[in-house]
Amino acid sequence: MTDPALVERSVPDTRFRLLLATAALAALAFTGVYLIAVHTHWGQRLDATALEGSSRVDRPRVQRATENLLTTVTVGSVAFVGVGIVLVALGRGRFHLAVAAGLVAFGSDVSAELLKRVILTRPDLTGPGPHGLVNTFPSGHTTVAMSLALAAVLVTPARARGLVAVIGASYAIGIGEAVLISGWHRPSDAIGSYLLVMMWAALAASWLASSHARLVRRPRSASWGTPIISPVIAALGAATLAVSFIGMATVAVALRADRLDAVGLDTAYFAAAAAILGVGALVTTTFVSLLRGLTLDPIG
Among 74-83, 124-133, 149-158, 240-249, name the one with the lowest average pLDDT: 124-133
Residue 140 has pLDDT above 60, yes or no: yes
User: What pairs with residue 8 in β-bridges?
Assistant: 215
User: What pairs with residue 6 in β-bridges?
Assistant: 217
Specify the 3-state DSSP secondary structure of 7: strand
Contacts of 200 (CB under 8 A, 6+ apart): 23, 103, 104, 107, 108, 111, 147
Return mean pLDDT, the chain: 81
pLDDT tens sequence across 183-220: 888 999 999 999 999 999 999 999 888 876 666 665 55
What are the domain boundaries of the chain?
Answer: 11-295
Count of beta carbons in the 10 Å neighbourhood of residue 188: 26
pLDDT tens sequence across 236-287: 767 776 776 676 666 666 666 565 554 566 677 888 888 899 899 989 999 9
Instruction: Give 206-230 as a DSSP string.
Output: HHHHHHT-EEEE--TT-GGGS-SS-
pLDDT tens sequence across 168-181: 999 999 999 999 98
Q: What's this model's pTM, rounded to 2 decimal places? A: 0.86
What is the pLDDT, as a whole number, of residue 111?
Answer: 96
pLDDT tens sequence across 24-73: 999 999 999 999 999 998 888 888 888 887 766 666 676 777 888 788 88
